[in-house]
């Protein structure tokens, strides 16, 4: 490595946490502000609000595929240069989103934005890991994660206010001052660390990225019914081929893009599989609920955004409960029970109607947000519990990629399920609200069934993370 924390300018150490916190806030805000604006964007672009998931999917999929590249680029070319490039791409992408005249242009602009997003926060975190001694890392990381909690709290309501008082374009334009500020601050607020790197696994990126992209495309095309069944089968077979070849290839390469040998660690394997399967049920809720409130029940964007605040607020409050609950119950009992409760809560959204009083809906959103936060935190910490200094970096990268891919798949699956019930007119009588209600019921049952994954855990699994032996 070119520098060590002992050699880092104290002035940089002073400003680096603020720079990383701003980048994290910028990304967290962008990730939540869009959901409330989707119905308004759909009207202006002459699209169905129920078919705009591609705007979100394009971003999350691109970020997931490029995360492994971000660390390699920053190590090779320097954290400062790559961070500046990332912020510039994210900001330019935001401008392109704001001036997009149609859906295709908006999706492509989101991809450009995601290229920057895939590097911006990971590189800032990497700089912090390189810049500070271990005894100071916890304090610094806790500081920079606060904006990640505030972003989802402000995002839905700010998005609603902007689209109602100004226009949807402003949900992207708000990124510009943050981008300018970060580029200016990066001149003196981030070190330029470098270290030797292995040759990047481009073949692995093509194989794994191709398989995941085809899988996402398959889910999207099934819901649109734009192509024949034969073509869907061809895409499915191509997906299997790409991923199978990657498995064969990665097991024979010294430094693969994603080291599948890590899945020999049981807690990592169960945590990753749990992340993917469980999030298929719960990951689409932030996408579906704002749509239901506006498209189904006629709430304004501002009101719909404000109604999401209890969920975000309880998420912040619940994170502190994870450690004592795990210490009391263990990961196995905790995840089985919490996943079951979460599935039941999602099923309860089936009973929400347009005339349901806020006294029913707001507490449901509040409890759902808190239980979801506990679920995500527990699954993530379980995944990292048995990693050591030789594989912690690779394991953390696998978890981060999984989180992004799970978000991508969950939105695609939620859209697919919603479209499936919308086409069942004998069940829904052609009413969109009914399609939403049955979608919640389906996703809730799917979440309950995902408890079977965590039954495979042993009572002592992951307890080293909480200090138990």
Instruction: Specify which of 70-74, 137-141, 243-247, 275-279 reaches the highest per-range mean pLDDT.
Output: 243-247
Do 330 and 458 meet the contact criterion of CB atoms below 8 Å apart?
A: no
Question: Given this model, what pLDDT does residue 226 score?
Answer: 63
- The pair of structure tokens assigned to 148 is 């990640």
Tell me the mean pLDDT in the region 13-42.
81
192 vs 1, which has greater pLDDT? 192
Question: Given this model, what pLDDT does residue 87 score?
Answer: 92
pTM higher than 0.85, yes or no?
no
Ranges 93-97, 152-156, 327-331: which has the least confidence = 152-156
Q: What are the residue ranges spanned by the domains of the chain?
A: 1-198, 202-254, 261-469
Q: How far apart are CA 392 and CA 202, in angstroms?
A: 22
Question: Given this model, what pLDDT does residue 462 score?
Answer: 67
Which of 458, 406, 60 lies closest to 270, judged by CA? Answer: 458
- DSSP conformation class of 77: H
Question: Given this model, what pLDDT does residue 469 score?
Answer: 44
pLDDT tens digits, residue range 193-215?
777 777 888 888 888 888 888 88
Question: Given this model, what pLDDT does residue 200 score?
Answer: 80
Question: Given this model, what pLDDT does residue 3 score?
Answer: 41
Share of the chain above pLDDT 90, in %: 8
Is domain 1-198 given the CATH code 1.10.530.10 in the classification? no
- DSSP conformation class of 293: I
Which of 123, 184, 130 lies closest to 8, judged by CA? Answer: 130
Mean pLDDT, the chain, rounded, equals 80
Question: Given this model, what pLDDT does residue 5 score?
Answer: 46
Ranges 93-107, 171-185, 209-223, 437-451: which has the least confidence = 209-223
pLDDT at residue 2 greater than cutoff 50: no
Question: Given this model, what pLDDT does residue 88 score?
Answer: 94
Give the total residue count for the chain.
Answer: 469
| pLDDT level of residue 302 (50, 70, 90 thresholds) | confident
Tell me the mean pLDDT in the region 351-364.
75
Q: How far apart are CA 32 and CA 159, in angstroms?
A: 8
Is domain 261-469 given the CATH code 1.20.1250.20 in the classification? yes
| pLDDT level of residue 94 (50, 70, 90 thresholds) | very high
- DSSP conformation class of 312: H
Do 41 and 232 meet the contact criterion of CB atoms below 8 Å apart?
A: no
Question: Given this model, what pLDDT does residue 69 score?
Answer: 82
Ranges 224-228, 265-269, 441-445: which has the least confidence = 224-228
Instruction: Specify which of 179-183, 325-329, 395-399, 405-409 reaches the highest per-range mean pLDDT.
Output: 179-183
Please determine whether the domains at 1-198 and 261-469 fall in the same fold group of CATH. yes
| 232 class by beta-carbon count within 10 Å (0-12 exposed, 13-18 middle, 19+ buried) | middle
Question: Given this model, what pLDDT does residue 91 score?
Answer: 93
- In order of 59, 309, 322, 352, 372, the CA distances from 364 in angstroms are 29, 12, 20, 10, 12
404 vs 145, which has greater pLDDT? 404
Q: How far apart are CA 208 and CA 219, in angstroms?
A: 17
- In order of 95, 218, 220, 274, the CA distances from 47 in angstroms are 21, 20, 15, 34
Which residues touch 177 (CB under 8 Å, ≥6 apart)? Answer: none
- The pair of structure tokens assigned to 70 is 């971000």
Question: Given this model, what pLDDT does residue 306 score?
Answer: 78
Question: Given this model, what pLDDT does residue 310 score?
Answer: 80
Question: Given this model, what pLDDT does residue 208 score?
Answer: 85
389 vs 463, which has greater pLDDT? 463
Tell me the mean pLDDT in the region 1-30.
71
pLDDT tens digits, residue range 105-153?
988 999 999 899 888 888 887 787 777 776 666 567 666 666 666 766 6
pLDDT at residue 390 greater than cutoff 80: no
CB atoms within 10 A of CB 8: 17
What separation, in Å, do the N-terminal and C-terminal C-alpha atoms of the chain show?
A: 35
Share of the chain above pLDDT 70, in %: 86
Question: Given this model, what pLDDT does residue 317 score?
Answer: 79
């Amino acid at each position: 490595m070119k520098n060590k924390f002992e050699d880092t300018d104290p002035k940089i150490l002073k400003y680096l946490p603020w720079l990383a916190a701003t980048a994290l806030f910028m990304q967290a805000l962008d990730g939540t502000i869009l959901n409330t604006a989707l119905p308004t964007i759909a009207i202006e672009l002459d699209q169905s609000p129920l078919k705009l998931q591609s705007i979100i999917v394009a971003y999350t999929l691109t970020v997931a595929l490029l995360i492994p590249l971000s660390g390699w680029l920053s190590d090779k070319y320097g954290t400062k240069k790559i961070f500046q490039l990332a912020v510039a791409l994210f900001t330019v992408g935001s401008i392109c989103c704001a001036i997009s005249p149609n859906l295709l242009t908006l999706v492509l602009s989101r991809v450009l934005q995601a290229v920057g997003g895939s590097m911006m926060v990971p590189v800032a975190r990497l700089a912090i890991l390189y810049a500070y001694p271990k005894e100071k890392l916890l304090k610094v990381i806790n500081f920079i994660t606060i904006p990640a909690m505030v972003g989802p709290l402000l995002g839905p309501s700010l998005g609603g206010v902007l689209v109602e008082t100004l226009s949807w374009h402003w949900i992207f334009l708000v990124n510009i001052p943050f981008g300018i500020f970060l580029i200016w601050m990066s001149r003196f607020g981030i070190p330029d660390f470098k270290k030797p790197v292995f040759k990047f696994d481009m073949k692995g990126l093509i194989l794994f990225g191709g398989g995941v992209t085809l899988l996402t495309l398959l889910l999207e095309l099934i819901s649109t019914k734009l192509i024949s069944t034969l073509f869907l089968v061809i895409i499915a077979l191509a997906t299997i081929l790409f991923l199978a070849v990657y498995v064969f290839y990665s097991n024979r390469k010294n430094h693969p893009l994603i080291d599948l040998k890590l899945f020999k660690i049981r807690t990592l394997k169960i945590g990753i599989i749990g992340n993917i399967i469980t999030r298929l049920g719960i990951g689409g809720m932030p996408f579906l609920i704002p749509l239901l409130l506006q498209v189904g029940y006629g709430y304004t964007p501002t009101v719909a955004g404000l109604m999401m605040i209890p969920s975000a607020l309880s998420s912040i409050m619940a994170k502190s409960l994870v450690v004592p609950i795990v210490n009391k119950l263990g990961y196995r009992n905790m995840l089985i029970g919490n996943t079951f409760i979460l599935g039941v809560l999602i099923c309860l959204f089936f009973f929400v109607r347009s005339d349901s009083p806020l006294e029913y809906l707001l507490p449901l959103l509040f409890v759902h947000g808190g239980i979801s936060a506990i679920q995500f935190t527990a699954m993530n910490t379980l995944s990292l519990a048995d990693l050591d200094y030789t594989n912690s970096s690779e394991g953390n990268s696998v978890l981060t990629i999984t989180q992004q891919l799970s978000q991508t798949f969950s939105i695609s699956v939620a859209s697919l399920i919603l479209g499936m019930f919308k086409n069942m007119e004998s069940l829904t009588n052609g009413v969109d609200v009914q399609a939403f209600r049955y979608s919640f019921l389906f996703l809730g049952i799917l979440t309950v069934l995902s408890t079977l994954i965590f039954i495979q855990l042993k009572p002592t699994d992951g307890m080293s993370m909480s200090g138990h032996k």
